[in-house]
Amino acid sequence: MSNTLRLLTNVVLFQLGWFACLLLSGVWVVLIAITVLLLHFYFIVPQEQRIKELNLIVIVLFVGVILELCYLFGEVLIRSGGESYPAFWLLIIWALFATTFRYSLSWLRPKLWLASIFAGVAAPMSYYAGANLNATVSLSDNAIFSLAVIAVSWAIVFPLLMKRLVPVTQQS
């Protein structure tokens, strides 16, 4: 698979998974997420890189759990049923998002300042869209506060993850 096709496939798979997590529920979310991850590992990740990719996904997922817990406890995000744990579909999105680090988002790695700006803008937009597409999680009553906290936290966390988990010379 050519690098261009690999990058485009990575973007499409992530977006497919993202929309599935927001628009579907139950077993469908799990089945589509597993399918997206299997396709990612089969078509995009070279065999010799699969363990590194799995490690990256696990680390990003762990950071995602911590960040989502902070959002819930800080009342940046609100679960519709009042639960104090992150929505399962939101955690799946973190795992799917991790698949973009070495591929469709790898261009940000040498420019961490740009990664910070990118994350600070894209993450609040994603959370805003997600809160409007899936009623199980919403922004706080003060949506501007929620979006600002998300912007700042992502502007810090995303470039740190990229710096730590993706080598500068990583080729797609």
User: In a 10 Å sphere around its CB, with 0-12 CB exposed, 13-18 middle and 19+ buried, how is residue 92 labelled?
Assistant: buried
Domain boundaries along the sequence of the chain? 3-165
Tokens of 122: 């894209």
Tokens of 13: 């798979």
Please give the span between the terminal C-alpha atoms of the chain, in angstroms, as a whole number. 11
Question: Residue length, the chain?
Answer: 172
pLDDT digits (tens, 9 = 90+) for 18-76: 999 999 988 999 999 999 999 999 999 999 999 999 999 999 999 999 999 999 999 99
| pTM of the predicted model as reported, rounded to 2 decimal places | 0.93
